[in-house]
Amino acid sequence: MATSLAEQPVLKMSAPDLRSDLDLSIEETMRLLRLAIDMKRDPAHYATALQGRSLSLLFEKPSLRTRLTFELAIQQLGGYAVTSIGMIGDREPLKDVARNLDRWTQGIVARVFAQATIEGLAEWSRVPVINALSDMFHPCQALADVQTVLERFGRFDGLKLAYIGDGNNMAHSLLLTAGRLGMQVAVAAPEGYQPDAGVLAMAREAGVQFTITADPAEAAEGAHAVYTDVWASMGQEAEAEERKRIFAPYQVNDALMARAAGDSIFLHCLPAKRGQEVTDSVMESAQSAIFDQAENRLHAQKALLLMLLK
């Protein structure tokens, strides 16, 4: 009889931190996904896997899914989390914050405005640092996304993911995670809002098959997963009205979903502005996998913590 993965040794990540999606190799990502699915199926086997370990959660941006899923993840593995909300390094240098936290806890999770904050924490900390969102990457969300795809389709090869909207941190992480796992990635974004050229160069160097277009219909054609995100992220509130005008043709609606494959799913990292980037009918459709994604944040992050902190 096959044994649970819980009965096998958990191999530690080769990188000390998760600063970006590229810190996980393709092999490590697949191992993490298999572990996440096993933890989801059989959580009792892992209930004491990180007993006595503690985790610092730092938030410069408000959070529902990130905060609760990381707090629950470490608790369900036998550890505990301490949470701090506010600007990191506002009252004291970032390097001092990092060197305090690494004396008290075994890992640092940070949801920040700037990627430079993640890099600074990782540079000065002796314990693993996890990027729980920055302006450049959202690797934890991408892991939950590809877990959702794997659960639905059982594979990545031969699948197409269409990302429609702002070429932001979410688009970057999907290119680097879903793309390296073998999915073809098509990004549809208006001129001036397409993914960062440096990230596209990273994806190209990693062998990702992707297309960048200004036409959402072209991107969605034959897609197995259609993905979108809010048009104005936190910190872009002053641009919200202008972005609504520019991105209006990029709304994911029933007509756009009809261009996707017959067994396609709809994905959104949430929170969503229903009626803006996506219609309520798509959010509530049988194709919608948004709450599977949200649930999988918990399981993917449990696997990540185990691979970093075990």
Q: Which residues does the annotation mark as catalytic?
A: 111, 138, 141, 229, 269, 297
What's the rounded Cα separation, in Å, for the pair 129 and 106? 9
Contact (Cβ atoms closer than 8 angstroms) between residue 130 and residue 302: no
CA-wise closest residue to 179 among 194, 98, 263, 201: 201
Query: Within its chain, how far is the Cα of 174 from the centroid?
Result: 8
Grouping H, G, I as helix, E, B as strand and the rest as coil, residue 34 is helix
The order of strands in the sheet holding 108-111 is 80-85, 54-59, 108-111, 129-131
Which position has the token pair 């269409």? 162
**Residue 41 has which token pair?**
């199926």
User: Residues 64-96, buried b or exposed e (16+ Cβ, 10 A)?
Assistant: ebbbebbbebbebbebebeeeeeebbeeeebee
Helix (H) or strand (E) holding 163: strand 160-164
**Residue 11 has which token pair?**
């191999």
The region, left, alpha or beta by phi > 0 then psi within -120 to 50, assigned to residue 209 is: beta
Grouping H, G, I as helix, E, B as strand and the rest as coil, residue 276 is coil
Residue 51 φ then ψ, to 5°: -60, 130
C-beta contacts of 283-288 below 8 A and 24+ residues apart: 285/254, 285/257, 287/257
